Structure 1
Amino acid sequence: MASRVSVKGKGKSIKGSKDGSEGHSTAKCLKDWSNWALKKAKVITHYGFIPMVIIIGMNSEPKPQLYQLLSPV
């Protein structure tokens, strides 16, 4: 017969501690939301900057051609 090995976790387990956890969960939620929003803003800025410059350049006076906007000279 094979013997069974039981694994018991070491350390303290915190179950439902309610003393002051409301403030911590609100702060954590705010931190998570702000991190998520900043990551999305970084991606939007990264992929949207050059198209935005081209669109603004195409709508300016005098109206340049697309190749004039993209040429280095």
Structure 2
Amino acid sequence: MASRVSLKSKGKSSVGKVSKGMDDKSTTQCLKEWSNWALKKAKVITHYGFIPLVIIIGMNSEPKPQLYQLLAPV
């Protein structure tokens, strides 16, 4: 008796996307994928850009503090 090997993969498969093509996707599906991608990128940008933004705004305020004064807790 020969055993069979299952080639099922977990997660998303790129084979289905290749065979479907862009013409078969609905407009709402494309919009959903684009907005999902954009929100993920915005989340990363916000996560890594918030603290530098606060430091830049603090450095441009009056009176002009030194960098160590901005970063010191007291």
* Partner Cα separation in structure 2 for residue 46 and residue 26 of structure 1: 30
Give 1:36-51 correspondences, 5 Å limit: 36-51=37-52
Which TM-score applies when normalising by structure 1?
0.67
Identity of aligned residues (%): 81
Structure 1 moving runs of 4+ over 3 Å: none
Determine the structure 2 residue equivalent to 1:60. Answer: 61
Residue number in structure 2 paired with 1:12: none
Superposition deviation, residue 31 in structure 1: 0.2
Higher Cα radius of gyration:
1
Cα offsets for 1:7-38 (capped at 9, x unmatched)? xxxxxxxxx8xxxx97x610000000000000
Pairwise CA distance, 1:55: 0.3
Q: What SS does the corresponding residue of 1:62 show, helix, strand or coil?
A: coil
CA distance in 2, matches of 1:61, 1:27: 49
Note if 1:29 corresponds to 2:53. Answer: no
- Structure 1: any 5+ residue segments left out of the alignment? 6-15
Shift of 1:57: 0.2
For structure 2, the 5+ residue unaligned runs are: 5-19
